[in-house]
Amino acid sequence: MKKRFEWRFVGIFLCGMLWGVVITYLVGGLVVKRYILIEYKSRLGVNETAERIAKNAAATGTWLARVSACSIPQPSDRTPINVITLCNAKIAKTIVDDHKSRRLASVIPCQFAVYQKPDGSVVISRLNFSLVGYMLGGTAAEMAALATQEQMKIMDDLIAK
């Protein structure tokens, strides 16, 4: 006896695939949207926070920092905002020496923004470099995790806990 092809199994399979894609897209999109940029509350004012990050970075001996208030336009409400550019030449070289990780060069050196929110709190905002590295994998993941760990040490005395 010959078995008959069951189209309903194809329909069930296609519905499962469609729902899998939709759920993956929603969860992935929500996770990336929520965690791609990270904010930390600072215990100091905007200018003091930016200066302290630069000072702490210089004290490591491996990180270079530059504070710039004019690299982005000042807000219309005149609240202060600063951008700190941080670079570690050893980590950057390791990233660009690896052909698979070189895509990460578009986000190095790392930039932090320090600004005041409407409620008066001062925050440090940065790209979640370790998440980007994790998504790329390999050397990028290792170096991004190392950079993030060292950057957290630089900010440790500033972050309100």
CA-based max dimension of the chain: 83
1 and 52, same domain (yes or no): no
47 and 121, same domain (yes or no): yes
Residue 69 pLDDT more than 70? no
44 and 123, same domain (yes or no): yes
The pLDDT tens digits for 73-112 are 778 888 888 899 999 999 999 988 988 888 888 888 889 9
Q: Which domain holds residue 6?
A: 1-35
Tokens 């895509």 sit at which residue? 103
What is the total count of domains within the chain?
2
74 and 149, same domain (yes or no): yes
Structural domain contains residue 160: no
28 and 104, same domain (yes or no): no
Residue 54 pLDDT more than 80? yes
* Angstrom distance (rounded) from CA 58 to CA 110: 15
User: Over the chain, what is the mean pLDDT?
Assistant: 87
Structural domain contains residue 105: yes
Task: Report the pLDDT value the prediction gives residue 30, as an integer from 0 to 100.
Answer: 80
Task: Report the pLDDT value the prediction gives residue 128, as an integer from 0 to 100.
Answer: 92
19 and 96, same domain (yes or no): no
